[in-house]
Amino acid sequence: MSAIVAHELTQRYGSEVALDSVDLALDQGEHLAVLGDNGAGKTTLLRILATAARPTSGRLEIFGLDAVRERKALRARIGFVAHAPGLYPALSAVENLEFFCALHDVDRKRVPETLDLVGLTDVARRPAGRLSRGEQQRLAIGRAVLHGPRLLVLDEPDASLDSGGPDLLANVMRDRTVVLATHDHALANRLCQRTIVLRNGRSLGAGTRLRVVR
Partner 1 sequence: MTRSISVAYAVARKDLTSEWRTRELVPALGQFVVLALVIANFGFQIDSRNATVIAPGVLWLALVFAGLVAFGRAFAAEREQASLEAMLLTPAPPAAIFAGKAIAAALLLIVCEMVLLPAMTLFFGTPLNPALIVAVLLATVGMAAVGCLFAAIVARVRSREVLLPLLTLPLWIPFIVAGGQAVQVAMGASGNYNQAVALLIDFDILFLVLTSLAARFVLDD
Which residues of the shown chain bind partner 1 in the complex (CB under 8 A)? Answer: 50-52, 54, 72-73, 75-76, 78, 80, 82-91, 95, 99-100, 102-105, 127, 143, 147
Looking at the Cβ atoms of 104 and 190, the one nearer to partner 1 is 104
Looking at the Cβ atoms of 120 and 188, the one nearer to partner 1 is 120
Q: How far is the CB of 54 from partner 1 (least distance, A)?
A: 7
Q: How far is the CB of 95 from partner 1 (least distance, A)?
A: 7
* Distance in angstroms (rounded) separating the CA atoms of residues 212 and 214: 5
Looking at the Cβ atoms of 63 and 100, the one nearer to partner 1 is 100
Q: How far is the CB of 189 from partner 1 (least distance, A)?
A: 29
Looking at the Cβ atoms of 63 and 206, the one nearer to partner 1 is 63
Looking at the Cβ atoms of 115 and 140, the one nearer to partner 1 is 140
Q: How far is the CB of 21 from partner 1 (least distance, A)?
A: 23
Do the beta carbons of residue 31 and residue 191 sit within 8 Å? Answer: yes
Q: How far is the CB of 104 from partner 1 (least distance, A)?
A: 5
